[in-house]
Amino acid sequence: MLWPLIFTGAMMWVIWYFPRLIVAMGKANDNLMSKYQAAGILDYLIALIALVALVMGVATARPTKGEIELRSQFDKFALFAARVTMLLLSGTVGVMFFEVVARYVFEKPTLWANESSLWLAGFIYLLSGLYAMQQRSHIAIFLVYDLMPRWLQRACDVLSTSLICGFALAILWGGWTEASQKFMRWETFGTAFDPPLPATMKMMVIFATLAVAAQAVANLIADWSRGPESHGIVDEGEVGEMIEAAQHQFDQSKRA
């Protein structure tokens, strides 16, 4: 979790002060020019740290117990994104806990907790889809699929992946202009805290959708040479975990 932690901390700085980079690129409007100065050495240094943490985090990503083995190089990126998502989830819980204590114990509610948790939850929701695709844990109905020969299963896999990619391209085609405009003018939420939710989330929707489509293609390639697939009512991994848990409880009862 070290590299995801460094990446998350560095990206929090980069995102919050990204208008400085827009000013430095000469793309800022009058509103940004009046509020922000051009990016300095510290901003570029932290952005470089985020990039290094991303590269190192993806390179060292490994599955843990309960996760499927790596089947493609893109799986490493999905696992790294999952670790970042875990940190964001912990951050969201921390923000909500802080707000509850501040509001009901000290009677000093914050202006930023609600929108911060909403902001983080948006990132969590989008990145979780990539992890679900990598782990093959998305909703799937195998009643008819399991009865098909392998060549027909492959045809169904190609069709489903094509539909995912088509949807991703439609999102890119229909949303890029608006998302890029909101991003470059750094459109904010219009509240007292005024976080850049429209600027960041519109772009994140496109990025996450393309990442899920890329993961679907990686899954298709990795699973192409696998034998006929059959899915039971209960996953074999879950059965193994239940057996281990029962054995552990039995051992504890014997010691007692």
What are the φ/ψ torsions at residue 62 (nearest 5 degrees)?
-135, 145
User: What per-residue confidence (pLDDT) applies to 233?
Assistant: 58
What are the tens digits of pLDDT across the range 197-212? 999 999 999 999 999 9
CA distance 199 to 180: 8
Q: Assess whether pLDDT exceeds 90 at residue 165.
A: yes
pTM of the model: 0.83
149-184 as b/e: b if 16+ CB within 10 A: eeeebbeebeeebeebbeebeebeeeeeeebeebbb
What are the tens digits of pLDDT across the range 47-80? 999 999 999 999 998 988 888 888 888 899 999 9
- Whole-angstrom CA distances from 179 to 18, 81, 175, 198 are 15, 22, 6, 8
E strands, the chain, in order: none
Amino acid (one-letter) located at 96? M
Query: Which range (16-30, 106-120, 237-251) has the least confidence?
Result: 237-251
Residue of 100, 126, 127 lying closest to 113 (CA atoms): 100
Residue 239: pLDDT band with limits 50, 70, 90: low
Residue 183: pLDDT band with limits 50, 70, 90: very high
Residue 39: pLDDT band with limits 50, 70, 90: confident
Q: Assess whether pLDDT exceeds 70 at residue 164.
A: yes
**For the chain, what are the domain ranges?**
1-60, 61-255
